[in-house]
Structure 1
Amino acid sequence: MTDRYEGSFYGRRKGKPLSPSRTKLVEDAMPRLALDLGSPVPADLTGLFDADVEDVCLEVGFGGGEHLLHRARENPTTGFIGVEPFVGSMAKVVTTVVAEDIKNIRLYDDDAINLLDWLPEASIDLAYQLYPDPWPKKRHWKRRFINQQNLDRYARVLKPGHQFRFASDIDTYVDWTLRHCRDHAAFEWTAQCASDWKTPWDNWPGTRYEAKAIREGRIGRYLTFLRV
């Protein structure tokens, strides 16, 4: 039986309408910031950025952008590709990138599968997926992004010896991810003791989804897998 799901792995794309000023800002900035998957695939992703970067990280589903922006600010020589189909979240990040003139971020506002299939093989130094939509009802589990096919995609674009990081406060999704990565030959869980998966990564900024989980009594789990 396959995990393949033909359809989107995210929910709604639009919430409250953007203000006219923010709409214009996004329209003006996105041609410069957004990746064009219709263009030839670059041999070296570092050339995608306005900054001189040495390596490239990928965050799929950046939500409010807290983690993406924090990492980009603290690592100016690393390029960050952020994926988020939700219009409001994308607008928030674009506004901050423009206001702070952050030069080491590029964005993609559609299905992450398209981007993963476009990226060159072994081109990403680190990949994050943090607090993704858990699709908590069992009949919706097929819509969870972590599955055999998407792990194949992550494995293809990640450099061997580099990491895929996943965080969630939903126990069934944590178990789901552990099982799928355990069964995938390209990934190895790096945890040596319980604190390894109960403790966020260094300089963790937190996210609004994590804060919501804590308020509601749930605890985040932080999984690190090595691309072997």
Structure 2
Amino acid sequence: MTARKAGLVADLLPRLRPDLSRPAPDDLRTLFACPLQEVWLEIGFGGGEHLLWQRARTPKSALIGCEPFLNGVASLLGGIDDHGIETIRIHDGDARDLIAWLPAGSIARVFILFPDPWPKKRQAKRRLITPQLVRSLMRVLRSGGELRFASDDMDYAREALRVIGNDAAFAWTANRADDWRRRPADWPETRYERKALSEGRKPAYLCFRRL
């Protein structure tokens, strides 16, 4: 980590980290200083390129990103500092702790893009997508809100489709047979996605609506 990024972790991150020791505000938009329409959540943002892309194109939406790995957090902090962004908050711990803190119906979109697939059979229990997590996301997503999931591991994509699709609170929004192969225009290609494609792995893109 560069000296600059280490300084941002020490000085900027504490100002952007939600204080989970206090009750969440009823309206999450009050966490931010400027007028906003809605708040989005990304779980596992990697280096933060998707968060920064969405922020640049949806200035009326704020984003909360969860990422436990410090190098990824530092990369996002660099982008926030470079562009003077005031509408991103960062939780650098377990996403489930943040989700439990969030008020019901407070999130308009959730992104879970290329989570670790834990491909070995003995590792499957460590996967992020579980019925318990889906229930938690159901609580914090507002009615009509969207859950987006992507993976280049087809076994994990099938499991996510089954687990989320089996929850009566969510509806898969696919209209055509190959929708799961098409990345929507407002869904940017990430660095990990480019790596997967270069290695011959075609991702699945799944979108669900909160009923």
The bucket for the TM-score relative to the shorter chain is: over 0.9
Paired residue total: 211
Which residue in 2 is equivalent to 1:146?
A: 129
SS of corresponding position for 1:194 = coil
1:217 is aligned, of 189, 193, 200, to 200
> 1:44-59 maps to which residues of 2 (within 5 A)?
44-59=27-42
Partner of 2:158: 175
Query: What's the counterpart of residue 77 of structure 1?
Result: 60
Tell me the percent identity.
Answer: 45
C-alpha RMSD of the superposition: 1.0
Question: Please, which of 83, 95, 98 is the counterpart of residue 115 of structure 1?
Answer: 98
Q: What's the CA shift for 1:50?
A: 2.8
CA apart distance, 1:138:
1.3
Cα separation, 2, equivalents of 1:215 and 1:119:
37
- Which moves more between the two structures, 62-71 or 184-193? 184-193
Structure 2 residue aligned with 1:105: 88
Name the CA distance, whole Å, in 2 between partners of 1:42 and 1:26: 25
- Which residue is equivalent to 1:134? 117
Asked if 1 retains the 8 angstrom alpha-carbon contact of 2:5 and 2:77, the reply is no
Displacement after TM superposition at 1:100 (Å): 0.7
Structure 1: gaps spanning 5 or more residues: 1-17
Instruction: Please give the per-residue CA displacement for 1:124-147, whole angstroms capped at 9, x wherever unaligned.
Output: 001110011110111111111100
1:36, CA displacement in angstroms? 1.1
TM-score by length of 2: 0.97
Q: Distance in 2 between matches of 1:38 and 1:124?
A: 20
Shift of 1:187: 1.2
User: Could you tell me the TM-score, scaled by structure 1's length?
Assistant: 0.90
Inter-partner Cα distance in structure 2 for 1:203 and 1:226: 16
Give ranges in structure 2 of 5+ residues lacking alignment.
none
- What is residue 42 of structure 1 aligned with on the other side? 25
Question: Alpha-carbon deviations, 1:148-205, whole Å to 9, x = none?
Answer: 1000110000001211010111100000001101221211111121232111122332
SS at match of 2:12: helix
